[in-house]
């Protein structure tokens, strides 16, 4: 009788152990699935309003790069064989990641060597409170020849200070503050910023940062290797 009880006890323990293993497997699979879902949306920020209001976008390879470059600020040789048009938002953390982790490598390898021209265009997302005015601030600074200086300051210092902060940036950069303040307060650059966004939407940009490299669309804060592959393909194409 004692032996039978011990066998039943062992069977119960085995069954309990198997149940625990199955439960742990389910938990692990659920966590892995969650991580995959989160990683699939990491790398860019999008705006449903921009996507919904945009007309049918042409495929990226068919876009006119000269038209996309417009008259916006750029880095590099104007006649470089590869043009990258970037659409960005100064309040977007993924755009900040591109600025801090990738841009300098592109500059050193391709822009400073005359192979790439990088054009910056605005794509302020509606759910970012200070993005529109930050974009306008950079355009106002451009009027005084300090676009890239303001661009760098906005990414490095952030935009939480809003208009007052942007005006302080202008003073720190040595701009004519009266001219800058009037430009920013009047909203004279608002339509220019919105035109950038419309052009981006029409070209297939649905989030920030978004890039078109000689007609090829690249979305999100991709690592330098992704840009290198696209640029080399364009150079050798």
pLDDT tens track for 169-202: 999 999 999 999 999 999 999 999 999 999 999 9
Closest-CA residue to 200 (of 67, 82, 91): 67
* Orientation of helix 131-142 relative to helix 190-202, angle to 10°: 110
Residues 110, 231 contacting (CB under 8 angstroms): yes
pLDDT at 21 over 70: no
Residues 147, 138 contacting (CB under 8 angstroms): yes
Of 43-47, 140-144, 194-198, 231-235, which gets the smallest average pLDDT?
43-47
Specify the pTM. Answer: 0.77
Give the pLDDT score at 88. 98
pLDDT at 227 over 80: yes
Percentage of the chain with pLDDT > 70? 74
Q: Three-class SS string for 19-37? A: HHHHHHHHHHHHHHHHHHH
Q: Rounded to 5 degrees, what are φ and ψ at 83? A: -115, 130
């Amino acid at each position: 009788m004692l032996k039978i009880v011990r066998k039943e006890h062992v069977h119960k323990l085995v069954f309990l152990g198997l149940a625990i293993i199955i439960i742990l497997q389910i938990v692990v699979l659920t966590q892995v699935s969650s991580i995959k879902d989160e990683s699939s949306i990491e790398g860019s920020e999008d705006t449903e309003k921009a996507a919904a209001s945009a007309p049918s976008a042409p495929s990226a390879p068919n876009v006119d790069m000269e038209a996309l470059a417009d008259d916006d600020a750029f880095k590099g040789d104007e006649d470089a064989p590869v043009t990258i048009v970037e659409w960005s938002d100064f309040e977007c953390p993924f755009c900040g990641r591109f600025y801090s982790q990738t841009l300098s490598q592109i500059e050193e390898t391709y822009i400073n060597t005359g192979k790439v021209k990088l054009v910056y265009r605005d794509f302020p997302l509606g759910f970012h409170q200070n993005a529109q005015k930050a974009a306008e601030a950079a355009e106002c600074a451009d009027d005084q020849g300090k676009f890239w200086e303001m661009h760098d300051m906005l990414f490095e210092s952030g935009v939480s200070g809003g208009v007052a902060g942007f005006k302080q940036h202008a003073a720190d950069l040595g701009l004519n503050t009266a001219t800058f303040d009037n430009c920013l307060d009047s909203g004279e650059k608002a339509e220019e910023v919105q035109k950038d966004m419309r052009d981006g939407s029409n070209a297939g940009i649905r989030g920030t940062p978004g890039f078109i490299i000689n007609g090829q669309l690249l979305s999100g804060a991709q690592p330098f290797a992704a840009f290198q592959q696209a640029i080399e393909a364009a150079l050798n194409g």
